[in-house]
Structure 1
């Protein structure tokens, strides 16, 4: 049954919590487990909806899985026998396209219909398809949303990505490890989660390494052993709680927050007036002074991560002055702003590029820049979550706001944040979860 979050805001968050394993790494590593001929064990896997969906998808393809404990899952891929990626999962997550590469290795074919995920922009699969074709896959477009892939064995090639897409880079890495010869992927994504995936592929028997200028080099092989591997901690979740601590004027020790994975976020948090102390097992976040406005642009790693943007915008509503945020990764990322305005935030969106960074959305009619004027006293309200990261932004806004808030669409947040209610209660949030009938949703 759907649920609603009931939040009473206006109190500083204080205490200690532990972040979960990274959603953006765990999903891809579960998919990569299908390449191995045996049982792979993954540790630090978050218990979130997207992970459960991905495991069910593995099961539909012939794999078996079991949870050994709360965060350890075993995946037995020896009996993969179905090349059709089920349509019923395609509307709820972006992961299905990534199954194409393991299926090409195991069965020589794959069939995919449509894809889904959060409504933050189209995120087409053209980069995936173009790269797989360069590796020798025959791709047949059955319909506008359905594709059939075939390849006896992929072969290495030099691939120049038009944009450093995270998903396309991950898919092509998984394709290249089983291809004949060498593959060079240029202008690729180099996020920490991709390094986590590459490390797992290397442990499985692949030769895969990062070269200069956003380049990955892969030497193909045919034998992949099952491994035991650990998912990295979630730097997006860590940043989310950090922003909450600073915005509410509290002090929170986030265990599992790793400095090397959050350097850019930490710099911008300090610029806006937040502060932090580094410890061996985490980072303590707090505010020393008033919050200051900034001019910020999102970008691919090592730039400011687009998934950090929504909670940071909420933080900027509490800064003294006018801040500018230029979104260069997803054209519709600011879909959550209207709800913040209804709570009293002063945010204006424009289709102009309010920044110096090269932007794919220049001269296009996308509202991808925001001007945020603060500080603003937010008021509690009734909100409906449109996507995962916006969901946490709404929760954070409700924690800052005076009065009570009711937040619907919590299934979006549960896609990426494990035990969110429990973690927030650990640091003093007044939050509860109530089952609701669909008709109750606004």
Structure 2
């Protein structure tokens, strides 16, 4: 297993970093491209293990997919019937693999996939996805590690209320509804920026999607979708991670190719901590701040504070001035990074879904392991400001979500290598 070796503290951190396309936007849009037999072209797709796995799943269906080194991807689903998907090893690596259900069910009337996996950050059942499909007339079968959905006469538009504003369920049902007979209304829908990006792509394919970005999304079904050329939005979580890395060092950084409004919750907390920044149409320029104050964080569905930045923010609070608190309301097992941060000298105690952080002056380098994607990013942020050498193991988690991470960190002045 590969690992990162980081020598800290990084005393000359700073500069500009160009943010890659959003992983959490690319994956559902790759799946949505299967709604048409024509070739769609996606730009700004990040080169990540997650997008590689999704590409392999799409190939496994019998579709053609090609990507170049510049982030462009062509997907052609010119097939009359998808091949049966049996490779559990692929689905076990990627939670978003469940998103191929909707275009296959809507277009071909049947789909059978292995149950998906992904980061072990808590129970994330797909019951909301399946309940939505069932409400649209699909018959659902589960067993032996597989799930199957069939709608021989096509899906039917209906009104669906989500018990929780699940991003994945919202995306799957939006995609399926595009080829349903009639109008589908999704209430209590997720309203993340990635949902809006998916809606824009679906509309570009000839779909009718309104209300994306609110809690009610309306999709008018059509009989055929066509090709579309689309550019994936920037990755707000990657941008937030780099900003937090700089903040932990008291340094400045300019993140480019980013939509500042997507990071409003993080910027609000950084302001509360004493940081200043400048924003433009496509950049955030964080100014140095030597003694940031601790704050309290509570994760919530968008536009609340993102759970995908919780671990990194805890790393920042571990050396901030005073005591802070983090409350995790989205995933019950998203504190696995805490023992690893404590190995580096952080003082963190937990009680239920709350973590209490006492800021310390310095962290120390240590051997730690990334237990999931964002936990790994938090350990990198901690290693940058720790005294001595840190070795971060199980970095395959980190490389699921950060494109050219080592190269970008090196360009910012970090002494890091992968071996």
Partner Cα separation in structure 1 for residue 30 and residue 112 of structure 2: 19
Match of 2:359 among 366, 374, 377: 374
- RMSD of aligned C-alpha atoms? 1.3
2:37: which partner in 1?
37
Q: Deviations over 1:247-294 (max 9, x none)?
A: 111111111232111111111111122221113331111333521121
Partner Cα separation in structure 2 for residue 397 and residue 116 of structure 1: 27
Moved more, 203-212 or 243-252: 203-212
Partner Cα separation in structure 1 for residue 117 and residue 212 of structure 2: 32
1:391: which partner in 2?
376
1:278: which partner in 2?
279
Deviation of the 1:132 alpha carbon: 0.7
2:335: which partner in 1?
334
> Is contact 1:154–1:179 with CA below 8 Å preserved after alignment?
yes
1:404: which partner in 2?
389
Deviation of the 1:11 alpha carbon: 1.9
1:267: which partner in 2?
268
Match of 2:131, SS state, is helix
Deviation of the 1:69 alpha carbon: 4.0
Partner Cα separation in structure 2 for residue 384 and residue 372 of structure 1: 20
Match of 2:57, SS state, is helix
2:9: which partner in 1?
10
- How many residues are paired up? 416
Match of 1:403, SS state, is strand
Q: Deviations over 1:15-73 (max 9, x none)?
A: 11101000000011111111112111000000000001000110000111112442001
Please, which runs of 5 or more residues in structure 1 have no aligned partner? 352-367, 435-442
Partner Cα separation in structure 1 for residue 273 and residue 246 of structure 2: 13
TM-score relative to the length of structure 2: 0.97
Partner Cα separation in structure 2 for residue 242 and residue 211 of structure 1: 28
Deviation of the 1:194 alpha carbon: 0.7
Match of 1:20, SS state, is coil
Q: Deviations over 1:209-267 (max 9, x none)?
A: 11796110010011111110000000000000000111111111111232111111111
Q: Deviations over 1:389-437 (max 9, x none)?
A: 1111111111110000111111111110000000001110000111xxx
Partner Cα separation in structure 2 for residue 208 and residue 116 of structure 1: 29
Deviation of the 1:162 alpha carbon: 0.4
> Is contact 1:239–1:308 with CA below 8 Å preserved after alignment?
yes
TM-score relative to the length of structure 1: 0.92
5 Å-filtered alignment, 1:357-368, equals 368=353
5 Å-filtered alignment, 1:38-437, equals 38-79=38-79, 81-84=82-85, 86-143=87-144, 145-152=145-152, 153-210=154-211, 214-351=215-352, 368-434=353-419
Structure 1's consecutive aligned runs of 4 or more residues displaced over 6 angstroms after TM superposition are none
Identify if the C-alpha distance between structure 1 residues 412 and 292 changes in structure 2 by more than 3 Å, giving closer, same or farther.
same
> Is contact 2:141–2:147 with CA below 8 Å preserved after alignment?
yes
1:356: which partner in 2?
none
Match of 1:218, SS state, is strand
Partner Cα separation in structure 2 for residue 85 and residue 201 of structure 1: 28
> Is contact 1:345–1:376 with CA below 8 Å preserved after alignment?
no
Identify if the C-alpha distance between structure 1 residues 340 and 183 changes in structure 2 by more than 3 Å, giving closer, same or farther.
same
Please, which runs of 5 or more residues in structure 2 have no aligned partner? none
Match of 1:277, SS state, is strand
> Is contact 1:121–1:331 with CA below 8 Å preserved after alignment?
yes
Q: Deviations over 1:273-324 (max 9, x none)?
A: 2221113331111333521121211000000000011111100112111101
> Is contact 2:192–2:213 with CA below 8 Å preserved after alignment?
no
> Is contact 2:9–2:385 with CA below 8 Å preserved after alignment?
yes
Moved more, 272-281 or 317-326: 272-281
Deviation of the 1:146 alpha carbon: 2.0
Moved more, 213-222 or 276-285: 276-285
